[in-house]
Chain A
Amino acid sequence: MGVIEVEGLRKEYRRARGAPSIALAGLELSVPEGGVFGFLGPNGSGKTTTIRCLLGLVRPSGGRTRVLGADPQRDLASVIRRVGSIVETPALFPNFSGRRNLQLLGALDGIAPRAVDDMLGRVGLGGRGRDLVGTYSLGMRQRLGLAAALLKDPELLILDEPANGLDPAGIKEIRDLIRSLGAEGRTVFVSSHLLGEVQQTCDRVAILSQGRLVTAGPVEDVLAIGHRAGLLVRLGDLARGVEVLRAAGLDAALVGDVIRVALTPDEGARVTEVLAREGLYVSEVRPEEVDLETVFLELTGGESGEAP
């Protein structure tokens, strides 16, 4: 059994006029223990609603959820000490310093003030901890939210867009931090739209569209779902190379400074043979790599993810 289990989760928001808005339409999800789990989906696909359901903030219209074995709607309090979370942009009191905000939260769990200082240092806010949160940038608030989530030393972290508002250096820091947290044996459930980051950070991913799960699994397996278009070939005379390959009955096209041939990776020898027969010698043959963004766009149709 995973640390997060979601079965047939539905959420409808009533509207004053018209049909209800469906945020989640029977979501199924299982997050195993340990490592970093990426939760991807277009805007409006239901990521934040799912996270809110997991944290007991939103009442599902149907289905079942379990967090560390507890039903968030009934007995989340029994496991909340083991769960750290960020939901969208963390909201803390602007008239308090970052340090005092964390101290007040930490006091709820009997966490010593010293742990607050350590945590502020860990997220790069050691020098700004005594400044008012109202003076913080969006990125600093995000770091403070992350510090609040980590303060409980949780075994499960639920992070909704943790890199939101961070600059490239900050994104790298958070990526390294999340990786290290996963490596420590914690489970990090992270939603993000930064697909490159997810691909670099996560062990497993789930892709959500229109309130439903599209696919889930280890990153390599999900990447394998993507349409592998073929081989990329580099040589001196690209235009002639395309002619030769096409004359040999292959589907070839010039893409930037390489030729893209519609063959599987293990058919590279066939390409080099055809080209060599015509006196063209390749400098590079490699399989076309499919990234998470490609798979994501293929699976979600590149559309807004709102449920029907």
Chain B
Amino acid sequence: MTALLVSEVRRALARRLVRVLALLALAGVVAITVGNFVNSTKAAAGNGLDVEAERQARVQACRQSSPPGFQASCDRLTPLASPPGDKRFKLVDLWLGRTERLKRGITRTRGYVLASTSTLFFLLALVVGASFIGAEYRAGTLTTLLTWEPRRARVLAAKLAAAALAGAGLYLLLQLLLTALLWGVASTRGITAGADAAFYRGIAGLLARGTALASGLAVLGACLAFLGRTTSAALGGVLVYLIGVEGILNNQAPDWSRWFLLPNTVAVFTGEQLRRGGFTRSPGGAAALTVAYLAALVGVTVVVLRRRDVT
């Protein structure tokens, strides 16, 4: 099984599409870094501590006014104060978001860098998983492999594990690289204030949850490609589901949305509770539901693959 898994991981990572997408993502990471480096001027240097002090004051006020059980959320308050003209990159923008008021009634949300890039890297993981299996069907290589390892469940397990590792690995490496590069920008030309131990713990949790979701999305893409036998069927299936099922039903039957994949994965990723009307679900509950959905899909894929003729 180990040899099969190693072989599948090598195949997954050696694919041209994976390399092209990884290079594009890498170029995006570099572009974000360069953009922030260039925009992070030293025009109003020396205000970093003031920003953090202002945030701390609001955190204290929030804690004092919040009922018991809700005080923890105050720690997530983000710096609001930013001196006019200060364009320095703030390390807390990596994860914590903040809203800037540009003019009366016009605001701009900044921050959430890792959350924004996560969306793209999740897509990358989905495509990597789907194309890994889609390419197998297109090239007919599954036939060759099954003449060496006829136990289809094992082959499926190895391929899904390889897809998960590839998707998760790419996500984590790209996000760690981005974090490291932007930390360098903040350290040299920006503001690191507010980046305390809790902040870094938050980043670590975010990346851990993001990595798990990326692996799940790669498995989702791979399973759908197994079922549809093409990459486009897998990606089209996801698109149709998100728009056609969750998008429409979200309006038609809002009560059902608590069971939808998208809001639950968002809850997992952000670590926030899922709230739908009076209903709430913890991030752990959302994670359990997401895993259950994925397990059901893997189960269906195993059954179909074991019964299907390979021609």
A and B bind:
yes
Within 8 Å of chain A (Cβ to Cβ): is B141? yes
B6 proximity list for chain A (CB < 8 A) = 107
CB pair B7 A104 closer than 8 Å: yes
Whether, in the assembled complex, B14 has its beta carbon less than 8 Å from a beta carbon of chain A, the answer is yes
B255 interface residue per 8 A CB criterion: no
Name the contact of B139 in the complex, choosing from A52, A91, A105 (C-beta under 8 A).
A91
Closest to B144 in A: A91
Q: Which of A13, A57, A72, A105 contacts B148 (CB 8 A)?
A: A105
- CB-CB under 8 A from A94, the residues of chain B are 139
A201 vs B44: C-alpha distance in the bound complex, in angstroms? 87
Whether, in the assembled complex, A214 has its beta carbon less than 8 Å from a beta carbon of chain B, the answer is no
> Bound complex: CA of A109 vs CA of B15, how far in Å?
23
- Provide the bound-state CA to CA distance between A150 and B144, in Å: 13
Residues of B within 8 A of A105 (CB): 7, 144-145, 148
A108: which of B139, B149, B309 is its contact (CB, 8 Å)?
A: B149
User: B147 is contacted by which of A59, A87, A96, A107 (Cβ under 8 Å)?
Assistant: A87
Residues of B within 8 A of A52 (CB): 309-311
Tell whether B104 is near chain A: CB-to-CB under 8 Å: no
Residue of B nearest to A109 (CB): B148
Using CB atoms, name the residue of chain B closest to A158.
B147
Select B140's contact among A56, A85, A91, A109, beta carbons within 8 Å. A91
Q: How does the 8 Å CB contact mask read for A8-27 relative to B, with 1 for contact and 0 for none? A: 00000100000000000000
Contacts of B149 in A (CB 8 A): 77, 80, 108
Q: Does A55 contact B (CB under 8 A)?
A: yes
Partner of B14, one of A55, A76, A95: A95
Near A by CB (< 8 A), chain B positions 126-153 give: 139-141, 143-151
Residues of A within 8 A of B147 (CB): 55, 57, 80, 83, 85, 87
Interface: A232 (CB within 8 A): no
What's the nearest-Cβ distance from chain A to residue B304, in Å?
Answer: 12
- CB-CB under 8 A from B311, the residues of chain A are 52, 57-58
Interface string of A220-241 (1 = CB under 8 A from B): 0000000000000000000000
Contact A57 B10 (CB under 8 A): no
CA distance A57 to B151 in the complex (A): 11
Question: What's the Cα separation between A107 and B141 when bound, in Å?
Answer: 16
A148 interfacial contact with B, CB 8 Å: yes
| A131: min CB distance to chain B, Å | 15
CB neighbours of A92 from chain B (8 A):
141, 144
Bound Cα distance A55, B145 (Å): 11
Question: Contact flags (1/0) for A181-218 with B, using CB distance below 8 Å?
Answer: 00000000000000000000000000000000000000
A148 contact from B11, B16, B144, B146, Cβ within 8 A? B144
Which residues of the partner chain A approach B3 to less than 8 Å between Cβ atoms?
A: 107-108, 110
Task: Fill in one digit per residue for B169-209: 1 if any A CB lies within 8 Å of its CB, else 0.
Answer: 00000000000000000000000000000000000000000
Residues of chain A at interface, number, CB under 8 A: 29
Q: Which B residues touch A56, using CB under 8 A?
A: 146, 150
Q: Which residues of B contact A83 (CB under 8 A)?
A: 147
A55 contact from B4, B15, B150, Cβ within 8 A? B150
Q: In angstroms, how far is the closest chain B Cβ from the Cβ of A218?
A: 29
Chain B residues 1 to 25 lying within 8 A of chain A, measured CB to CB, are: 3-4, 6-7, 10-11, 14-16
Q: Which of A58, A72, A95, A145 contacts B15 (CB 8 A)?
A: A95
Neighbouring A residues of B11 by C-beta, 8 Å: 93, 96, 104
Asked if A165 is at the interface (CB within 8 A of a chain B CB), the reply is no
Q: Is B108 an interface residue (CB 8 A)?
A: no
Contact of A57 among B4, B7, B310 (CB under 8 A): B310
Q: Does A90 lie at the interface of the complex (its beta carbon under 8 Å from any beta carbon of B)?
A: yes
**Chain B residues within 8 Å of A148, by CB:** 144
- CB contacts (< 8 Å) of A104 on chain B: these are 7, 10-11
B103 within 8 A of A: no
Q: Are B141 and A93 in contact (CB under 8 A)?
A: yes
Residues of B within 8 A of A (CB): 3-4, 6-7, 10-11, 14-16, 139-141, 143-151, 307, 309-311
Task: Given contact pairs A56-B150, A80-B150, A108-B7, enumerate 10 new A-B contacts (beta carbons under 8 Å).
Answer: A55-B146, A55-B150, A56-B146, A59-B307, A80-B147, A87-B144, A91-B140, A93-B139, A93-B141, A105-B7
Listed by A's residue number, 10 A-B pairs whose Cβ atoms lie within 8 Å are A52-B310, A58-B310, A77-B151, A80-B150, A87-B143, A93-B141, A104-B7, A104-B10, A108-B7, A148-B144
A binding-site residues for B, Cβ under 8 Å: 13, 52, 55-59, 72, 76-77, 80, 83, 85, 87, 90-96, 104-105, 107-110, 145, 148
- For the complex of A and B, the 9 pairs showing the least CB-CB separation, nearest first, are A91-B140, A57-B310, A76-B150, A58-B309, A104-B7, A107-B3, A56-B150, A85-B147, A91-B141
